[in-house]
Amino acid sequence: MRDYRCYLMTGENIYGVQNLEGADDAEVITKAAALLRSKPEHQSIEIWDGKRMVARVPRHEESGADQ
């Protein structure tokens, strides 16, 4: 398991930091998306593995089933 740092974002501003563990990038992206859904005040989450940006996951505002 690797440690990733996730930044909860509103616009370009960081409003919170959460560390997540995962076996690979895909697992942490899934966990980060779930974390973002639990934090409606934030617009996106950036996932970092050290100096490497893994992904920026935006909030999906549309109604309907999650992807």
- Segment holding 8, helix H or strand E: strand 2-10
What is the residue-averaged pLDDT of the chain? 90
- Whether pLDDT at 41 is above 70: yes
Residue 61's pLDDT band (cuts 50, 70, 90): low
* 52-58: strand order across its sheet: 13-22, 2-10, 44-49, 52-58
Q: Region 35-59: what's the mean pLDDT?
A: 96
Cα angle 5, 6, 9 (rounded to 5 degrees) comes to 145
Enter the pTM of the model: 0.85
CA torsion 26-27-29-32 (nearest 10°) is 180
- Whether pLDDT at 62 is above 60: no
User: What's the confidence (pLDDT) of residue 39?
Assistant: 94
User: What's the confidence (pLDDT) of residue 66?
Assistant: 46
Are 59 and 42 spatial neighbours (Cβ–Cβ below 8 Å)?
yes
